[in-house]
Amino acid sequence: MTIRAVIIGAAGRMGQALTRVAAEFPDLRLVGAITAAGSPVLGRDLGQYAGIAPLGITLSADLAAALRNADVAIDFSRPEASAANLAACRTAGTALLIGTTGLRPLLSESELSEAARQIALLVAANTSLGVTLLMELVRQAASALPAEFDVEILETHHRMKRDAPSGTALALGQVAATARGTALDEIAADRAGPRRPGAIGFAVSRGGDVVGEHEVRFLGPGEQLVLAHRATDRAVFARGAITAALWLAQQPAGRYEMRDILF
Ligand SMILES: NC(=O)c1ccc[n+]([C@@H]2O[C@H](COP(=O)([O-])OP(=O)(O)OC[C@H]3O[C@@H](n4cnc5c(N)ncnc54)[C@H](OP(=O)(O)O)[C@@H]3O)[C@@H](O)[C@H]2O)c1
């Protein structure tokens, strides 16, 4: 079965990574490539722009037109564009995978849930299969270890990253908080002052071309458990996103997570 996909944010780092790995997926057919209105790269061939052979797909800003022939949209663009992209997919009835991070407060949980009544929707701050498994390990550790174990989440990314802490770090914190029966907003640690019991802290590091590193430390009396993931190639996010998008395109309307693909 062939799944027709549109890449939103196609001219960006992730858009190009998606374009380059697309040929590894025989069931995938790219049918559209969307970038920002007014972009100087509008009209360029997607393949050539991503450094591979021409694909006959033109970088365009007309999402509604691209969705007419698509089964799924894969959005790695900007949070400012996400609400409009979601609305276009709802109108077209097209499944949507949102990989863009920093959505809050521009797109609320209730807006996402509302949309998931009409379309298959998957929002993933991290589409790597390794991080998807890390989330499960963090869930297990946070619920098994006593609450006196402090949780500290460290992340490092390239110097161009816009949001901080990363969407993945926040998602890891959310998983740990939920496993401890509370909300992240309630339990996130203040930067200064002594740590409240059970608080979850974040540390952010930026520089160079680091693709993405996350470490979750459970710090208890006399021992530490450290769970970590290091991405060395942006292609892992692209491959995970395409694997998820191919699956999502065949699901009924609803809200899905990366773990639905792995387990
Ligand atoms: N889920 C994951 O696993 C994962 C992994 C890596 C990155 N991300 C996230 O994915 C997003 C993109 O990352 P990136 O590194 O690829 O960033 P990037 O290189 O800045 O790419 C974003 C692209 O989106 C374009 N854009 C802006 N407005 C748009 C619109 N309305 N419609 C379509 N495209 C639009 C930008 O064009 P202009 O430059 O012309 O504005 C740019 O080409 C970020 O939020 C990042 O945190 C997620």
Q: Which atom of ligand 1 is nearest to the CA of 16?
A: 16
List b or e across 227-237, with b for residues whose CB sees 16 or more CB atoms inside 10 angstroms: bebebeebbbb
Report how far ligand 1's centroid is from the alpha carbon of 84 (Å): 14
Report how far ligand 1's centroid is from the alpha carbon of 150 (Å): 33
- The arithmetic mean of pLDDT across residues 198-219, rounded, is 95
- 209 band by pLDDT with thresholds 50, 70 and 90: very high
pLDDT at 97 over 80: yes
Specify whether 141 is located in the same domain as 174: yes
Pairwise CA distance, residues 38 & 60, whole Å: 10
Specify whether 8 is located in the same domain as 42: yes
Q: What is the CATH number of the domain that holds 181?
A: 3.30.360.10
Specify whether 55 is located in the same domain as 30: yes
pLDDT at 187: 83
pLDDT at 109: 92
pLDDT above 90 covers a percentage of the chain that reads 91
Q: What is the CATH number of the domain that holds 55?
A: 3.40.50.720
Specify whether 226 is located in the same domain as 240: no
Q: Show the ligand 1 pocket: residues with CB < 6 angstroms.
A: 8-9, 11-15, 34-36, 39, 76-78, 81, 99-102, 124-127, 237
Specify whether 22 is located in the same domain as 104: yes
Rg over alpha carbons for the chain, rounded to the nearest Å, is: 19
pLDDT at 210 over 80: yes
pLDDT tens, position by position, 34-81: 999 999 999 999 999 999 999 999 999 999 999 999 999 999 999 999
Q: Which pair of tokens denotes residue 80?
A: 């400012």
Specify whether 218 is located in the same domain as 254: no
Number of domains in the chain: 2
Pairwise CA distance, residues 57 & 149, whole Å: 52
pLDDT at 208 over 90: yes
Specify whether 142 is located in the same domain as 76: no
- The arithmetic mean of pLDDT across residues 140-160, rounded, is 95
pLDDT at 104: 86
Pocket test for ligand 1, best of 18, 49, 76 (most atoms within 8 A of CB): 76
pLDDT at 220: 93
pLDDT at 198: 80
pLDDT at 186 over 90: no
pLDDT at 206: 98
Specify whether 116 is located in the same domain as 15: yes
pLDDT at 262: 85
Specify whether 161 is located in the same domain as 188: yes
170 is in which domain, residue-wise? Answer: 129-231
pLDDT tens, position by position, 113-146: 999 999 999 999 999 999 999 999 999 999 999 9
3-class secondary structure per residue, the chain: CCEEEEEECCCCHHHHHHHHHHHHCCCEEEEEEECCCCCCCCCCEHHHHCCCCCCCCEEECCHHHHHCCCCEEEECCCHHHHHHHHHHHHHHCCEEEECCCCCCCCCCHHHHHHHCCCCEEEECCCCCHHHHHHHHHHHHHHHHCCCCCEEEEEEEECCCCCCCCCHHHHHHHHHHHHHCCCCHHHHECCCCCCCCCCCEEEEEEECCCCCEEEEEEEEECCEEEEEEEEECCCHHHHHHHHHHHHHHCCCCCEEECCHHHHC
CB 9 within 8 A of CB 63: no
